[in-house]
Structure 1
């Protein structure tokens, strides 16, 4: 049967003979495996929102190439209204997953959109070739609705040495062979969050390379199903007990190490080759940085709102909201949310066109401030949540099924059940007062 919805088409793309490893076992059916099924179902449902009448216009724009609706993360903003359109699209997906999924591809798609916008100033000595390649790749990704992630960091072997100083030269990703058709690469990259679920992986060094590390200074994109590419997953957090573990059952993105065993990459997908300075310039490109950080901050708001809502519901359910110290902690959670919302609003209000590209970018300083605060806010927020729940976390039954078991009535007497808001038709939750 031919796929008829974006979600169904996405599922068929996962059956591309990709080499995914979990606990020493090669996973032949990623969409159907218990460790991955819940997240695949979630991603599929999000993609289907792009065709639902009440969310389609907010999540998509018309591609100038295909004339069909495509995801708003690929929208290069040429006005403040386009930045707000991107914000709305990011918010819908983030709210639908409570901000728990950081690699739904909006981040990497925003990076790609930024590189596309800046294509004529990036690429180093191979600038013209870079511009042509990244434009074609961007258009293919946009019109194909490809999901993607990044693999940027070197494996943690001996961080005091550069790749060329390592005892085993094959531990770090490097080019081992090249000809007219392309390059062959060998070695590892991490942390490729969501790698089992996406179509494409962007690979380049996160840290600045020296001139001694030219073989390790290449940027390219590969399909996850590339022969010789191994996706080695960490332990799964997923669960098929949806009622007992509602978050991990649906939102385990999965982190992975990517190991290349003489994998071939055609020149068309090699964007920068043996040029550490060009890669460093790309890493700092204003368009890519601003557009990707914008998405990160939108998601951070959803994440903090969710924790604040859960903390409020628990406090209300156990009847402690009249205590001043509880009110202070709940207030702190709301201050977190409002602070990040204010910084995001300022960044969008101060948006200006980039002088070289004409693309409008949100102001970077408020976004950077919000992201740095987020790294402090979220651990503090979860700490407050644990403090407010206190011993109640230990009196929770091992499974929801116990509430209907032989001593169910006795157990229910000591369980305070929060009443969470219902989900809207778009799949997003509505949190009153937040």
Structure 2
């Protein structure tokens, strides 16, 4: 049985997925959830670049699960991320490589994380091996519902407005509340749940970390409106690469003890969130995906301008140059992160965190700007597109051929290109992507401020004070 077949068989597990007011009965066949890249893991051209043989079980596991013990291991992981990202033009942001990399980081650092729980290492090790060998797809649900952001979790009248433990049993913890945004959760196997931001000591009850199976009784996934199109010719991106987002509601769901990694320990959760190995390994795939996405946009921008003859104008060339600068900047940061990779005291090799963090932060501003540039290049041409490509073969086909052609392209080619670009900049699918790129790694203002606060500024300012002291000595002499 192929990886894709095994995956689809796992979806028949009676999970509670809600869309348009109804419970989805057959998630594997529902048109809003059609997406799979797993066949690439079995394809002879890509299998060796996507998988590695585990030393203990001999399973061909995805390289996201590989603990890197050399620079070459890091490069192999990066190549695996690139294959999946390029296959979707960077448009699918949660292909499970991010959450799998989180898990791999926890596993690599299992003896240094977990706080007061002396069973953390054992639990993580067992869960990691099962996830790796079963090829589980996973995602995260880290944020609280936006009800009243002026209040701490413990300040709500209903203590279960945000997710917390109701009670403990012999089998595990019973949890109630909600988390957002679990991208891909309706058609994945597992969800990692913990608070994204640091909890105060008064909010200990809301500072737990666990993994939950999507099919767990009492777990409900409430989907947003689907942006998937069933018209591939007219909507080439949203018909193939729509990924669903969902709010996860826990209605007294039982989480077994072996899946409870940290219980009501804000410092342990925050230490895990800030761990350099976990951070570096999980940021690597997100930057690889960003690069694929920006390369795709740069290519579309170039073709848009060329198709209508606008590439000859200086102000358009400047905008196209900006797209290239975006690509080369992220590419350079990724290369630098790999070049500056170092082993930790545990022997685990990690890419340099600072350039990866820089790339992620730039992405929150690069992507909206890249979309704006496409809008400016195509301008009114995005409105000069027939409702369907079928117009070419209809009664007014000769008119369409005459008035919709490009500088050196046929009407069909030009229409297809502009429909592709519109799917990227103007559709509901496009709006979701812009929102996602702005905020998927948190509030960009906070992210920039955190990078400033954490940055080692001493080497920068040292030369300033050396110069100041030198001037003082010269004045006194």
Task: Give the TM-score taking structure 2 as reference length.
Answer: 0.84
Is 2:181 aligned against 1:191?
A: yes
Measure, in 2, the Cα distance between the counterparts of 1:232 and 1:6: 27
SS at match of 1:122: coil
Measure, in 2, the Cα distance between the counterparts of 1:97 and 1:289: 24
Shift of 1:65: 2.8
Shift of 1:242: 1.1
Measure, in 1, the Cα distance between the counterparts of 2:403 and 2:355: 46
2:41 matched residue in structure 1: 50
* Counterpart selection for 2:7 from 5, 10, 19: 10
Counterparts of 1:4-403 in structure 2, within 5 Å, are 4-37=1-34, 40=35, 43=36, 46-126=37-117, 128-355=118-345, 357-403=346-392
Shift of 1:176: 0.3
**Contact 1:87–1:295 under 8 Å retained in 2:** yes
Shift of 1:235: 0.7
Is 2:402 aligned against 1:413?
A: yes
Q: State the number of aligned residues.
A: 409
Shift of 1:412: 2.4
**Contact 1:90–1:106 under 8 Å retained in 2:** yes
Shift of 1:414: 2.4
**Contact 1:65–1:143 under 8 Å retained in 2:** no
Q: Deviations over 1:234-269 (max 9, x none)?
A: 111001111111111111111110000000010000
Shift of 1:69: 1.1
Measure, in 1, the Cα distance between the counterparts of 2:398 and 2:380: 21
2:432 matched residue in structure 1: none
Measure, in 2, the Cα distance between the counterparts of 1:317 and 1:170: 56
Measure, in 2, the Cα distance between the counterparts of 1:302 and 1:413: 35
Q: Alignment RMSD, CA only?
A: 1.1
Measure, in 2, the Cα distance between the counterparts of 1:382 and 1:62: 41
SS at match of 1:344: helix
Measure, in 2, the Cα distance between the counterparts of 1:343 and 1:181: 47
Q: Deviations over 1:202-252 (max 9, x none)?
A: 001111112222221111001100000000001110011111111111111
Gaps of 5+ in 2: 407-412, 418-477
2:426 matched residue in structure 1: none
Measure, in 1, the Cα distance between the counterparts of 2:56 and 2:132: 9
The 4+ residue runs of structure 1 with deviation greater than 3 A are none
Gaps of 5+ in 1: 421-434
- Which of the pair has more CA radius of gyration? 2
Measure, in 2, the Cα distance between the counterparts of 1:297 and 1:389: 27
SS at match of 2:45: coil
SS at match of 2:85: helix
Measure, in 2, the Cα distance between the counterparts of 1:244 and 1:9: 32
